[in-house]
Structures are given as C-alpha cells and as structure tokens.
Amino acid sequence: MEKLLAGVDLGGTKLSVGLVKPDGTILDKIIVYDHVGKEEDFIVNYITQLVRKVISANNLKESHLEGIGVGFPGHVRYRDGYTITTSNLKGFKNFPLRDSLSKNFSVPVRLDNDANAQAFCEFKCGAGRGYDDLIFLTISSGIGAGIIINRKIYRGMTGTAGEFGHTIIDPRSDYICTCGNRGCLMGCACGLTMPQMFRKKTEDGIKTTLPLPADFDFSKVDGKLIKQGLEINDPVSKAIVTDCADYIGIGLYNIFQVFNPPVIILGGGLMNLGDFYFSRIKTKFYELARDMIYDPINIVRSEAEADAGLIGAAALLLE
Ligand SMILES: [Zn+2]
C-alpha cells in the first residue's frame, strides 16, 4: 500500500489535521477551532491527539504514514524546525515545534510556513501545475506568500523568505501592521485591518448603507460583512475593497519586478470578495506594469482553496 501523508494546518482561527494521499486528495480530516488562545504545550499535545485520532478513525497505524507535515502561520527557522514569531497565535517565540511533535511520533515531522505549504500545494496539484516557477499570495486575515523557483520552495537563508505581507508599501499609512511597522502590505490590505478601515472611511464622511445597529461594534467588521456591503453597493465597503485591491495590485507589481514569474496565484478568504475585487487588483497591476511586460503573466485564483494549507503541509513530505 502506498504510504499516506499527514498534514497539519495550524491557523490563527482554524486547526485542520488530515490524511492526504500522495496525489493530493484528502482521505479524511478533522477541523477544530478551540486551540485559539492556548499555549504551545497545549497545542503540541492537541495536534498529537488529533493526528492519532484521524489515523485510528481510518483503521490505520502510524507506520502507514510517510510522515507529518505542519504549516505554521508565521516566521519559521526551517533547518532546525523552530518557530520564530507569529501574530496569529499566542506564544511560539523561538519554539522548537518540529522536535516537540517529533518526540510523540516515530515518523518524520516537517515544519514550514503555511504560505510555503500552500504554494507547494498549488504547484503540485493546483493552479501552478506545469510551471517551474510561481508566486503564491494568500490574502485573508493576514497576508503571506510562497515562492517556488525551479520546482522548489525558495526559503532564503533562515527560512523566512516570502513573508511578503510585511513588505512596506505605504510608510505614511494610517495602519499599523501586527508586526508593529506602519504601512506593511498586510496592514493596508488584510482582513484584520478592516475594522480600522471601516472606522476611517466613516470618519472621512462616507456613509454606509449597511443596516448596522446604532451601537455597532466596529471591531466586528470582517471580509464577510464587507462582501455583503459590496452586494448592496455600500459606498464604505466599496471604498475599502477598492483600497485593498489597489494595494494588492501594487504588491503584485512589486512581485513582478522582483521575480518576473510566469504566474501569480491568489488565494485566501478575501478572494471571496469576488470579481469586483479581483478585477480591480488586475487593473491596478496592469496600470503600473504597462509596457514593461513582455511575456504574458498569468494572475489566477487558487484552485485548492480552503484545503491548500492542509494538502500543502502534507505535501512537504514529498519535497
Ligand atoms: Zn508587518
């Protein structure tokens, strides 16, 4: 029997653990949300239990696994398997996540940044099939990227290459990123900043047509609410989406100038904002890149979508 891969997608809100076949199909998965706010040791034990649970639920043994791949939402020291920092989970400052998990299993454990894992998933079995080089950008509560060069994940010296969300695109921006810097792409165009954007737009005098209660808590603004706003042509939602799309378009332009990739794949929850958002991103990109483009560049949506993190983490074992 062909060995299976276990994937762990450790997100800031969602923790998915699953069994994945080498062709990228998911055999089974467990999704939990109650890891949020917990410490490192709790999460290590929780992941261990969930992996064991999904193995035994499928009448399998650990020996049926090739290994366990883990995607982490933050900076990772790839060689020695430490997390460096994250703004999506409590703790995890210089934490030996890979070896803490390895102690509980007899098969190898790989740890990488979650966007690297997603990029690898797109390369293996998604919108990046057939390309030797690609850039994957995930746009959701945060923003991250994965770089594939010559069919391999490019990690840089430490393993932190591709933290594109923290490139600064507007140093005079009103928005401070979770990393503390002003004007990161992530700070200007991700879901986490939407509450501040909403407040700013209304303070600027734009009136929302969303049916919100008088005591509305602005911290509740998220991509879903903004999408509802877009659907009813709400001027505030439209202004926010336009700004976010323009910043992402600038980001893609920067990616184009640095990497000249044949394809840029966009994934993450904010892509659900739909065609207005996606076409505005492309418009901004082409407005900036103009006649500097010689070979056509494909800007496409992720194909693996919500499971890319899980499949990609598992696929790290195949790298
Ligand atoms: Zn930042």
Task: Give the CATH number for residue 36.
Answer: 3.30.420.40
Cα–Cα distance measured from residue 179 to residue 177, given in angstroms and rounded to the nearest whole number: 5
Same domain, 275 and 159: yes
Distance CA 200, CA 226 (A): 14
Cα(203) to ligand 1 centroid in Å equals 24
Q: How far is the CA of 164 from the centre of ligand 1 (A)?
A: 9
Using CA atoms, how far apart are residues 22 and 44, in angstroms rounded to an integer? Answer: 25
Shared domain check, 158 and 114: no
Give mean pLDDT, residues 191-199: 93
Q: Residue 198: pLDDT above 70?
A: yes
Whole-number Å distance, alpha carbon 121 to ligand 1 midpoint, is: 25
**Mean pLDDT across 69-93:** 93
Band of the pLDDT at 87, cuts 50, 70, 90?
confident
Percentage of residues of the chain with pLDDT beyond 70: 100
In this prediction, residues 281-296 reach a mean pLDDT of: 96
Å from CA of 186 to ligand 1 middle: 6
Ligand 1 centroid to Cα of residue 87, in Å, is: 9
Same domain? For 145 and 277 the reply is yes
Question: Do 118 and 240 sit in the same domain of this protein?
Answer: no
Q: From ligand 1's centre to the CA of 163, what distance in Å?
A: 9
Q: For position 88, what pLDDT does the model report?
A: 82
**Structurally, how many domains does the chain consist of?**
2
| Ligand 1 centroid to residue 21 C-alpha, Å | 35
User: Is residue 149 very low, low, confident or very high in pLDDT (cuts 50, 70, 90)?
Assistant: very high
Same domain, 119 and 138: no
Give the model's pLDDT for residue 210. 94
- If asked whether residues 222 and 157 sit together in one domain, one would say yes
Report CA(89)–ligand 1 centroid distance (Å). Answer: 15
Question: Tell me, what's the pLDDT at 121?
Answer: 93
Distance 83 CA to ligand 1 centre (A): 17
Tens digits of residue pLDDT in 22-68: 989 999 999 999 999 999 999 999 999 999 999 999 999 999 999 99
User: Alpha-carbon distance 291 to 258, whole Å?
Assistant: 16
Q: How far is the CA of 81 from the centre of ligand 1 (A)?
A: 22
Other Cβ atoms closer than 10 A to 44: 17
Q: Are residues 77 and 178 in the same domain?
A: no
Q: Does residue 265 sit in the same domain as residue 231? A: yes
Residue 300 reports pLDDT greater than 80: yes
* Distance in Å, CA 52 to ligand 1 centroid: 36
pTM reported for the whole predicted model = 0.91
Domain that holds residue 207: 134-302
Cα(165) to ligand 1 centroid in Å equals: 6
Residue by residue, DSSP assigns 130-186 as: T-S-EEEEEESSSEEEEEEETTEE--TTTS-TT-GGGSBS-TT-S-B-TTS-BTBHH
pLDDT score for 12: 84
Query: What's 95's DSSP letter?
Result: B
CA of 41 to the centre of ligand 1 (A): 27
Whether residues 138 and 279 fall in one domain: yes
Please tell me the distance between residue 177's alpha carbon and the centre of ligand 1 in angstroms: 5
Determine the distance separating the centroid of ligand 1 and the alpha carbon of 58, expressed in angstroms: 41
Residue 239 and residue 173 share a domain: yes
pLDDT, the chain, mean? 94
State the pLDDT confidence band at 1, using cuts at 50, 70 and 90.
low
- CB-count burial class (<10 Å; 0-12, 13-18, 19+) for 214: exposed
Q: Are residues 241 and 255 in the same domain?
A: yes
Q: Are residues 150 and 284 in the same domain?
A: yes
State mean pLDDT over 86-98: 92
